[in-house]
Amino acid sequence: MSLVSVIIPVKDRVLPLKRAIESVKKQSHRNIEVIIVENNSKSPPKIKAAIEDMGDPALKFFSLSSCDNANVARNYGISKASGDYLAILDSDDEFFPTHIEDCLKLLTESCCDFVFGSIYLDDGASKIARYSRNLTFGESGIEYLFGKNAGWAPTPTYFLRKEVTTNVVWDENLRRHQDFDFFIRVVSKYRVIAKKEPSVVVHWKKGEKRTYDSSSMRIFYDKWRSKMGLIEKISYSKNKVRIAILNRDMHNLAFFTLEYFKAKICAYFK
C-alpha cells in the first residue's frame, strides 16, 4: 500500500487542527504519515502538546523558528515527507474518510500527476458544494482560473505525486494567491485531473475577515500578466478592485482600476 504524506501548516489553530488531524486518522487508506509544520504561532508548545496528547506515531511535528508564511511551512513539510504521494491540507479544513483513497485511485487510473477538485464550503450556517471541472484541451491554468468559464481549484484538494515538487514548489514570496500560482505552474508541466465529487470540507466562517496582502496581489499579477489574455486581465483586475475597496487599499484600488480599464479598452477595439 502506497505511503501518502499529508502536509498541514498551522498557526495558532489548536482546535481546528485537531479536527483536521482526526479527519486524516479516519481515512480508509491506512498507510499515511501526517507532517504538521507550526509557523509563527503565539504558543508553539501548546500546539506541540495537543499533537503529543493524540499519541499517534504517524504524526510528525516540526516548529520553524523563522518562517515568513505558510508556503515556507509547506515547502519544509514536503522536504520531510517520506511518501511517494502528497496531500495538502489546511489546519482549519478536513477530509472525508475516503478522500485519500479516492484521490490515489483517480490519480493512478488516469495516469495523471496532480488531482484538484470540488469542495463543500461550510460557513458555519450552511454547507454548499462548489464543483470543479476538468481543463479543456490546451487550456492553461490562467485561463482555467480567470477565463470566461472560470474553474475552482482550492488548496486542500491538492493531491500529487511527490516527484512534482522537484520542479514546482510553493512561492515563498506570496502570502496570498499562492494556490493560484502553484496550480498554474503545475498545469504547465504536468498531467492534471479534477475530482468532481467533493470530499473536502473548507471552513470559512461567515463574516470572518480573510487574510489580505496587498503586495502579494501585485507580485502575482506582475508575475503572470504577460501570460494573461484580455479576458483574464479583466476578470482578475475587477476582482482586485472589489477587494481593494473592501480593505480600503487606495494603492491597489488605483492600480487595478487602471489595469481593468486598459484591458477593457483593448478588448473593445480588438
- The rounded distance, in Å, linking the Cα atoms of 43 and 12 is 7
pLDDT class of 119 with cuts at 50, 70, 90: very high
What share of the chain in percent tops pLDDT 70? 99
Domain locations in the chain? 4-203, 227-269
For 45-54, how does the pLDDT look when each residue is reduced to its tens digit (9 = 90+)?
Answer: 899 999 999 9
Quick one: pLDDT at residue 207?
Answer: 66
Band (180; pLDDT cuts 50, 70, 90): very high
Is the model more confident about 1 or about 192?
Answer: 192
Q: What is the arithmetic mean of pLDDT over 80-87?
A: 98
Orientation of helix 214-224 relative to helix 250-269, angle to 10°: 30
Q: Is 193 helix (H, G, I), strand (E, B) or coil?
A: strand
Q: Where are the beta strands (DSSP E) in the chain?
A: 4-10, 32-39, 59-64, 85-88, 94-95, 114-117, 119-122, 127-130, 159-161, 192-195, 200-203
Average pLDDT over residues 157-173: 97
pLDDT of residue 95: 98
CA max distance for the chain: 65
Beta 119-122 vs 200-203: how paired, if at all?
parallel
Least Cα distance to 189 among 116, 140, 135, 117 occurs for 140
Q: What are the grid coordinates assigned to 136, written together?
A: 479543456
Are 82 and 58 within 8 A, CB to CB?
A: no
Question: What is the CATH number assigned to the segment(s) 4-203?
Answer: 3.90.550.10
pLDDT above 80 (res 157): yes
Judge whether residue 205 has pLDDT over 80.
no
- The Cα 248–Cα 237 span in angstroms is 16
User: Is 66's pLDDT higher than 90?
Assistant: no
**Residue the block writes with cell 482586485:** 240
pTM: 0.94
Question: For the chain, how many residues are written?
Answer: 270
How many of the other CB atoms lie within 10 Å of CB of 65?
A: 8
Return the pLDDT at 208: 67
**Of 2, 212, 13, which is closest to residue 87 (Cα–Cα)?**
2
pLDDT greater at residue 212 or residue 230: 230
Other CB atoms within 10 A of residue 206 CB = 9
Interval 229-240: pLDDT, tens: 999 999 999 999
Give the pLDDT confidence score for residue 211 in this predicted structure. Answer: 77
Q: What percent of the chain has pLDDT over 90?
A: 84
What is the reported pLDDT for 136? 96
- Reduced to 3 states, what is the DSSP secondary structure of residue 32? strand
Amino acid in the structure at residue 27: Q
Mean pLDDT over each residue of the chain, to the nearest integer = 94
The residues near 245 (Cβ < 8 Å, ≥ 6 apart) are 253
pLDDT digits (tens, 9 = 90+) for 240-253: 999 999 999 999 99
C-alpha cell at 110: 488516469
- How does strand 94-95 pair with strand 200-203? antiparallel
Which pLDDT score is estimated for 124?
A: 83
Burial of 122 per CB tally in 10 Å (0-12, 13-18, 19+): middle
